[in-house]
Amino acid sequence: MCELLGMSANVPTDICFSFSGLMQRGGGTGPHRDGWGIAFYEGKGVRSFHDPQPSVDSEIALLIKDHPIKSNVVISHIRQANVGEVNLANTHPFTRELWGYVWTFAHNGQLDKALFDLPLTHYHPVGTTDSEYAFCWLLGQIRDNFPQRPDDVADLQRFIRTSCDQLRALGVYNMLLTESTWLFAYCTTKLAWITRRAPFGEASLKDCELSVDFYKETTPNDIVTVIATEPLTDNEQWQKLDAGEMITFADGLPV
């Protein structure tokens, strides 16, 4: 299956360290060779990169690894294809507009063919993956039930979780979803997160020989949460989500 990576922070932060570990799993230390993508939010704007090539061999991935793009919210994905050909149209994360915001979605897992019986209203897939179809259905449901952006995220959060429960009934459904402020993480099988804040320490990646002392790279007020399918470091305590659990982050903290 695929792997997910997300970040929520209270200050613009780069994800070079975590992405350095994830990209190794895209054909190096892992089998996810069927494309990768990443989206960085800058306010309501989105800077996104997609490549159907393995991330471990991708020149674009090397750029992301070495170039510190600062962002408050990031979603990334490395793909191991099961539904849909390996091509650019089928490369996560996917984006659509709602309420004047660009929503970004990435999915890990595989859903039953019954998914394609769910009616689509406002959004339709460009590619042929079950993931993009699920995203189009989910965002259409949100649009129908919340014509305007809600001031309180609680009702929206409950609705998204109920909709994700419906998708989880069709198979494996691990998801990251954002509209620039809130980062929704839903788990069926594997998803873990860690919040880094003062006092910061050193972290070491599992998938390559790279460590960073966050004390030297941050200020005492920084708060950064990273979400991943599998923990990326081997010397930190990650928290794992349970099946059917959803957690929402804003400014680096759970809502």
In the residue annotation, 2 being an active-site residue is answered as: yes
Query: DSSP states of 25-73 as a string?
Result: TBTTSSB--S-EEEEEEETTEEEEEEESS-GGG-HHHHHHHHS---EEE
What is the C-alpha separation between 243 and 20, in angstroms, rounded? Answer: 28
Output the six-digit token pair for 107.
Answer: 């999915």
CB 22 within 8 Å of CB 55: yes
Phi and psi at 120, nearest 5°, equal -100, 140
CB 68 within 8 Å of CB 77: no
Catalytic residue among 2, 136, 164, 187: 2
Contacts of 159 (CB under 8 A, 6+ apart): 141, 142, 145, 146
Contacts of 186 (CB under 8 A, 6+ apart): 160, 161, 164, 168, 173, 174, 175, 177, 245, 246
Q: What stretch of H or E contains 5?
A: strand 3-13
Length of the chain measured in residues? 255
Write the single-letter amino acid at 244: G
Q: What stretch of H or E contains 134?
A: helix 130-145
> Among all residues, which ones are annotated catalytic?
2
